[in-house]
Amino acid sequence: MTAPPTLPKSRQQLILAVLMLCSLLIWIENTVLSTALETLADPVRGLGANPGQLQWATGAYTLAFATLMFTAGALGDRFGHRTVFSSGLVIFAGSSLWAAYVNDVGQLIAARAVMGVGSALITPAMMAILMWTFTGPARAAAIGIFSTSAGVGMAAGPVLAGFLLEHFWWGSVFLINVPVAALTLVGLAVLVPNFRSPTVRPLDPAGMLLSISGLVALAYGLIRAGQVAVWSRTDVWAPIVVGLVLLAVFVLVELRVKVPSFDPRLLAQRAFGGGNVALGLLLFGVAAITFYNAFYLQGALGFSPMKAGLANIPTAFGALVGAPLASRLVRRLSLRLVAVPALTVAALTIGGYGFLGLQTPLVWIEILLLIQGLSIGMVIGPVTAALLSNLPLEQAGAGSAVTNTVRQTGSVIGIAVGGTIMSIMYRRTIEPSLEGAPGPVRDQARVSAEQARHAATAIHRPTLAEAADNAFVHAMHVGAGWIAVITLLGAVVLVITLPAAEKKKGPMLEPDYEVDDVRRCGSA
């Protein structure tokens, strides 16, 4: 590979500042949505979105990100990483402006999907520019400084969203992206060379189309099950089957490609495959419980958006402390001895939502969120670093693509499954409380607890709002139990696939954290 050009130190520092600004933008944007979910569900202050629509508004971004990122890396090699980065920023800013002024949920879902496209183009290019700009010890120092933007975004995002939601309309949480993206574009044009790899990776249009269509069909079927509360309907099981078939074909196609963007062969390696499955299951649980958390704090407990944002700070703090703590522990013990207990605790904290209620003191919620963030940080960082560092250097790019895709896929399915369990259990629980209510009120109350509270206010029936709160909490308890069990399987996988002790092979590669992962940690 051709050595990157040596840039003056002052220019390197300015490039790092530009990259951190963009990273901060994405971290903040991905945390503010969780804070805005309850507002979007409100028929007066928001769009009156039902749970299925909110699942799509959340999952559309992650789905686009998961299926386009490995293609985006190849585009950067072909056309230059600055070109792809700039294109992603324009798409991200334009779709943010669109999302801020949409009139219905369908448009919001579409805008969020386009935002995911922008992020998919930005993230690989951002890391590539960082790696090309810095070399040797300066690279490790730059990565360490760069990672601090994650902490700032994780902590500031929910609080900023709470402030905006209390003083402006819900679209303001998207509108803030536009000026920051414009400033970043100027910095890119003035400071950053258009780095590109001398070895151009081939594009993979077949793999991209198969992965997108497969995940969309699978997510549609799972979310549809929550909307109709029946699994036997054709519009539920047929999309699920089609999605699984398309994903299987995707794997077969990638196995036949000489240089695949997503290499399934890597998953056959015991430690690499097991570690990725465990991370996928963890992100499944994190995505699902984050979805519950948004409605629990603001809906069931009645927190203001600002108070809910402040309440989520312990999770971000725990995640930031957990990652470096685990790195130090792994050097003394082993990855297995650190990651397995941490993932077990993370699963138990998800199950801990089954003990939260309408009268739970805030201090207990904060302790649960702190432990949750700490345990999640202790898994994602060291496991990702170990998986990539154990691969040969020529497979590092393919390994990163596999790891990122598996994690984001786990998030998409987690949102779909977690929201569906919640919807089904809520409808079953609220039904007895709707006897004697007018037909339109019954229909509205069945949609969600948010809709039921609004209907209760309109007909002056406070008992209906109380019943909706209790039904939601019961649904959360059931969902948290199932999600915790599924997440706990990740710890079992790690026990089976990771060696009891590893020989130290030298310094680990820096973990390739992705925006959507720790976003959820910071708002779970």
Q: Which residue has the tokens 């700039």?
A: 86
Cα–Cα distance for residue pair 116/62, rounded to 1 Å: 6
The string of DSSP codes covering 373-421 is HHHHHHHHHHHHHHHHHTS-GGGHHHHHHHHHHHHHHHHHHHHHHHHHH
Q: What is the pLDDT of residues 296-324, one digit of tens each?
A: 998 889 888 889 888 988 988 888 888 78
CA 466, CA 462: separation in Å to the nearest integer? 6
pTM of this prediction?
0.81
**What's residue 118's pLDDT?**
92
- Look at the alpha carbons of 431, 432, 434, 436 in this order and tell me if their dihedral is positive or negative: positive
* Dihedral (Cα; 515, 380, 293, 161), 10-degree rounding: -30
Model confidence over 334-392: pLDDT tens digits? 888 888 999 999 999 999 999 999 999 999 999 999 999 899 888 887 887 777 666 66
Residue 521 has pLDDT above 50, yes or no: no
From the list 6, 194, 127, 75, the residue with the least C-alpha distance to 509 is 127
Rounded Cα gap, residues 313 and 42, in angstroms: 24
Q: CB–CB of 467/476 below 8 Å?
A: no
Highest mean pLDDT pick, 40-54, 137-151, 346-360? 346-360
For the purposes of burial, counting CB atoms within 10 Å of the CB of 210, is it exposed (0-12), middle (13-18) or buried (19 or more)? buried
* 192 φ/ψ sector (left φ>0, alpha ψ -120 to 50, else beta): beta
